[in-house]
Structure 1
Amino acid sequence: MPMLLYRCLLTLLSPVLLGGALLRVLRGRETWADLSQRLGGGAPATSGAIWLHGASNGELASARGLLSALRAARPDLPIVVTANTVTGRALARGWDFPGVTACLAPLDFRWALARFRRRTRPALLIVMENELWPNRIVTAPMPVACIGGRMSARSFSTWQRAPRLAATLMRRLSFLSAQDDQSARHFAALGLPASAQGPTGTLKSGVDLPQPDADTLAALTPLFPRPDTLLVASTHEGEERTVLDGFTAARADRPDLKMILAPRHPARGDEVAQIARATGLTVARRSAGEQPTPDTDIYLADTLGEMPLWYRLAGMTFVAGSFAPKGGHTPFEPAAAGSAILHGPDIANFRDAYTALDTGGGAVAVSDPDELRAALVQLAGDATAQDALAARAREFLAGLGDSAALVETLVARLVSLTKA
C-alpha cells in the first residue's frame, strides 16, 4: 500500500516532472538527447555493470576515489555513472576512467527505470548520500547499497510521517554506510536491518581533484594572480548580486581584487552575465569565447567540468549555496586545492564540516555583503594568510575520518555484493 500511494502521487505529478524536463529542452538548457536519457534511453549497452548514482557534483566528487578503487578491484565490470544534472554528468565524464560511462539518471518512473536497466543490466546499484528514490530502490532486481547515507533531523521527521514506505525502502537495502552517527541512528530507527548497517564515515575528506589542463592554467595564471583572486563557486539564483555587492565594496580598498564567477548551472550564463556587467566592472565570459585580459575584473566561468582549474587559480573561494537556501556546497574541494574558504550562513548540507572549520579557524563565515567585504579586505593579497587558512581547513577536514581506510572497507563489501 505505501508504494501504491507513492506511485499514484508520482502519476499525478508526472505532467509537472515531464513538462519540466521538456521545458529545459525548449529553453535550450538541455538537449533532446538529455531528455531521452531522463526517460531511460541513451544509456550504454552493458552487462553486469555497477550502476553508481549521485545527485550532482558534490556527491559524485566524493565518489571518485571509491569508483577508482572499484575499477581496480573489479576491472572486468563496466561502471555506469548517473547524475540528476548535466553538470554532474560532465564531471564524471571528465574523469575519463576506462570502462566508466556517464549519463543522466532516469526519472523515478517504473517504465523509465526498466528501460534503463534493459540497456545496462546492472549487477549492483550504488546510490550516494540521500538519493533514496522509492521506485529506483524497490524495483531494483539487483542488490542496492547506499554510501555516505545522510539524513538530517528534518528529513528523519519527514520520513517518520510515512513509516511503512520508509521501512519498505530500508528493508530493500543490502548495505548502507552512513555519513555520520546521527544519520546511522535515523536509518536504523526507520527499519534498516542490522545486517545491512555498515561503517560510519565520509568519503569527502579524501577528495582527489583531477589536474586541470596545464596549458590553460599557464595562460590564465598571469591574468589572475592567486592572492588577489576570489572564486565564487557554484552560485544559485539570487546569490550573485549578494556576492558582487561585497566584492565591489571590497575593491574600494583592494583595487587589484579579481573574481572568477562559476554559476552552479551554466545554462544561467546569460542571466549571470547581465548581473555581473551591471556592476560596471569589466567582464569576460568563458562560454562565449571572450578572452580575459589584465584589465578583466570578473571572469564568468559558465562552463562544465572546469572547477579544478578555477580552484587552482584562486587563493580564496566563497562556497556558494550558502547565501541561498540550498544548504551550502562542499568545502572539501577548495580545501584540497589549497584555497582559503569563505561561506555564508546556510551550511545544512555540511554542518559538521563547517562547524569544525569555523570553530578551528579553518574558514571565514560571513552573513551579508558587509561581512564579505571585510573578509576580502583582510585576506586579499595576503598569500601567507590564505595558505594558513587553507592548511587549517585541510587539517580539520581530515580529522573527520580516514577516507582511505573507509574506501578499502566499502570496496570489499561492494565487491561481495556484485557476486550475490
Structure 2
Amino acid sequence: MILAATTRLAETVLHGRLLFGGAARLRARMMLDDLLARAEIWVHAASVGELNSASVLIEALAARHSVLVTTNSETGLERARSCGWPAVLAPLDLPGTLGRFLDTVRPKVAVTVEAELWPTRARLLAERSIPHVIVGARMSERSARRWSRLPGLIGPVLKNVAALSAQDAGSEARLRTLGLPQQAIQPRLDLKLLAPSRVVPPAPSSDRDRTVLAASTHPGEDEPILDAWLAAREGTPGCRLILALRHPDRADQVTAMLAARGLAFGRRSAGAEDHPLLLADTLGEMPLWYDRAGICITGGSLVDHGGHTPWEPAAHATAILHGPHVANFADAYATLDQVGAAQRIDARGLPAALAGLLADPAAARGMGQAARQVLAERAGDPAPLLDLIGNLVNPGATSDILGEG
C-alpha cells in the first residue's frame, strides 16, 4: 500500500514537471511518446553490457517471435537498435507509466536480463498474468543483505517469477533465500559466456601447435615473452610468435625494441600476416590470432593489470599460460588451473613452461580441449530456457529456436 501510494505521488510530481517543459528523455520513460508497437516478448536489459551479454538469447527469440527491447540508457538504446531490434527507453517503475506501456505492447512474456528487480513492474505483470522470466540472474552478497531488510518488497517480486536462470550457484542460493520459489529455478546460464561458447574451434594442425599468441600485452610483458620464445625456438625450430598489443598505439615503441634486439619481424598494420615474429598492432583481429595459435599467454597477468579474459582462448581450444596477476578473472583462472586447462607461471618460469608445451603438442592440445570444456560447462545450454519462453508465448509449442552455432 505504501509503495503504491508513493509511486502514484511520484508519477503526479513528474507529470507536473512535464507541464513546465520537462526533458524529452523523461517523456520517453513515462511512455508519453507514440513510439510503441505490439510485441510478444518484452526484453529488458539495463544497458550495453547486459545487452551484449544477452545478445545470443535475444537474437534467438527475435528469430521466432516479435520482440521489443527496453533499456535504461541512451547508449543501450543505440546498441539495441544497431542490432536491428525494435527498442525504446524502459518505462519508469510507476503504475500509470507501466500501464500505458503494457496496454500498448501487450506482451505475452516479460524477460529481464541479469539483475533488474522492480516491485511495481513485478506487481503489474502478475496482475495481468504476464509470465516474468529472469535470465542470467545475479545477486551479490551485499545486494542480498540490502534486500533482506526489505522483505515486503523483494518477496512479492520473486514470488511471481515464472522462471529464473541464475548466473552462478551463489546467486541462485541467495535468491532462493530471499523468496524465489524452487519451481521457478532453471539451469544456470552465464550470459557473458554464451557467445564465446558458440565459437567453432579450428581443427588441430602442426602449424597451430608451433604458434604462440601473446594476447593483449602491456608494457613490461613483451620483453620476457620474447625471451621465452627465443629460448623455446632453440628446442622447437620454426615456432612462431604473434605479439598482440593491448594498445596498438604502443606499436612504434615495441618496434624500436625489436629492432634494437636485431630481430626480424612483420608488422600487421603494414600488411604482414604470416611472419615468424608478427607484431599484431591492429584492432578487431584477435579471433584470427586465436585461431592460429595453439598456445596463448594472456596479457595483463605477468604485470599487475588484473589479467585479461581466459574465455576467448578457451573458446578457440587454445592452451593457456598466465601470470600471477589475474584478479579480474580469479575464479575462472583458478578453475582452469585446477583441471589442467591453464598453467600459472611468472616471468622466470615462462621459458620452461613455453618450451615444454611447444615440445609436447599433445599436451597443449589437451589443455585447449579442457579449457573449451570448462567454457561450455560454465556457459550452460540456453536451449531449454528458450523452449520454455517459447512455450509461455505459445503454450504447447516446441521448437529449436537457437539453431546451430
Aligned residue type for 2:66: L
From 232, 241, 248, the counterpart of 1:257: 241
Residue of structure 1 in register with 2:283 after alignment: 302
Aligned to 1:48: 39
The sequence identity of aligned pairs, in percent, is 24
Distance, in Å, in 1 between the alignment partners of 2:352 and 2:86 is 42
* Structure 1 segments unaligned to the other structure (5+ residues): 9-36, 95-99, 215-220, 234-238, 263-271
Superposition TM-score, scaled by structure 2 size: 0.60
Matches within 5 A, 1:344-363: 345-346=325-326, 351=331, 353-363=332-342
| Residue matched to 1:240 | 218
Letter in 2 for 1:227: R
Distance 1:174 1:391, change over 3 A: same
1:259 and 1:297 in contact (8 A); partners too:
yes
CA distance, structure 2, for counterparts of residue 364 and residue 85 of structure 1: 41
Q: Does 1:146 align with 2:134?
A: yes
- Evaluate the alpha carbon distance shift between residue 201 and residue 297 of structure 1 in structure 2; reply closer, same or farther with a 3 A threshold: closer
Q: Distance in 1 between matches of 2:49 and 2:360?
A: 30
1:300 partner amino acid: D
Residues paired across the two proteins, number:
345
2-structure distance, mates of 1:157, 1:291? 55
Q: Against the structure 1 CA distance between its residues 335 and 132, is the aligned structure 2 distance closer, same or farther, given a 3 Å change threshold? A: same
In the aligned structure 1, how far is the partner of 2:299 from the partner of 2:48? 15
Shift in alpha-carbon separation, 1:297–1:84, aligned structure 2, 3 A? farther
Q: Give 1:61 deviation, angstroms.
A: 5.9
1:340 aligns with 2:314: no
Judge which range, 356-365 or 197-206, deviates more: 197-206
Deviation at 1:312, TM superposition (A): 1.3
Change (3 A) 1:418 1:290: farther
Mapped partners of 1:39, 1:325: distance in 2: 42
**Deviation, structure 1 residue 346:** 3.6
The one-letter amino acid paired with 1:409 is: P
**8 Å CA contact 1:170, 1:192 repeated in 2:** yes
- CA distance in 2 between counterparts of 1:359 and 1:201 reads 21
Residues 164 and 185, structure 2, Cα contact 8 Å, conserved in 1: yes
Which sections of structure 2, spanning at least 5 residues, go unmatched? 11-27, 234-239, 259-264, 396-405
Structure 1 residue 184: Cα displacement: 1.4
Change (3 A) 1:359 1:60: same
Aligned pairs for 1:374-393 within 5 A: 375-380=353-358, 383-393=361-371
Residue from 66, 69, 78 that aligns with 1:77: 66
Residue 198 of structure 1 pairs with residue 179 of structure 2: no
Q: 1:230 — aligned with what?
A: 213
Contact 2:69 2:80 in 1 (8 A): no
Specify the SS of the correspondent of 1:342. strand
Q: Which residue of 1 aligns with 2:19?
A: none
CA distance in 1, matches of 2:365, 2:249: 33
Measured in 1, the distance between the counterparts of 2:228 and 2:112 equals 42
d(CA) in 2 for partners of 1:88, 1:227: 44
Q: CA deviation at 1:385?
A: 3.3
Q: Which residue of 2 aligns with 1:132?
A: 116
Which protein is bigger by CA-based radius of gyration?
2
Which amino acid in structure 2 is aligned with residue 314 of structure 1?
A
Match of 1:189 in 2: 177
In 2, are the aligned partners of 1:134 and 1:169 still within 8 Å (CA)?
yes
Distance 1:60 1:185, change over 3 A: same
Quick one: structure 1 residues 63 and 107, their matched pair in 2 at CA, closer, same or farther if it must change by over 3 Å?
A: closer
CA–CA separation in structure 1 for the residues paired with 2:244 and 2:80: 19
Tell me by how many angstroms 1:205 deviates.
Answer: 7.3
Task: Report Cα offsets for 1:255-291 as digits up to 9, x if no partner.
Answer: 74222345xxxxxxxxx233454333569887xx642
Could you tell me which residue of structure 2 aligns to residue 411 of structure 1? Answer: 386
Alpha-carbon contact 1:379-1:386 (below 8 Å) kept? yes
Cα RMSD (Å) of the superposition?
5.5
> Within 2, Cα distance between the matches of 1:373 and 1:408?
43
Shift in alpha-carbon separation, 1:175–1:91, aligned structure 2, 3 A:
same
Cα distance, 1:414–1:231 mapped onto 2, change above 3 Å? farther
Q: Work out the CA distance in 2 between the residues paired with 1:171 and 1:182.
A: 19
How far 1:299 sits from its partner (Å)? Answer: 0.9
* Contact 1:246–1:371 (8 Å) recurs in 2: no
- Code of the residue aligned with 1:360 in structure 2: it is V
Greater shift, 159-168 or 391-400, is seen at 159-168
The TM-score normalised by the length of structure 1 is 0.58
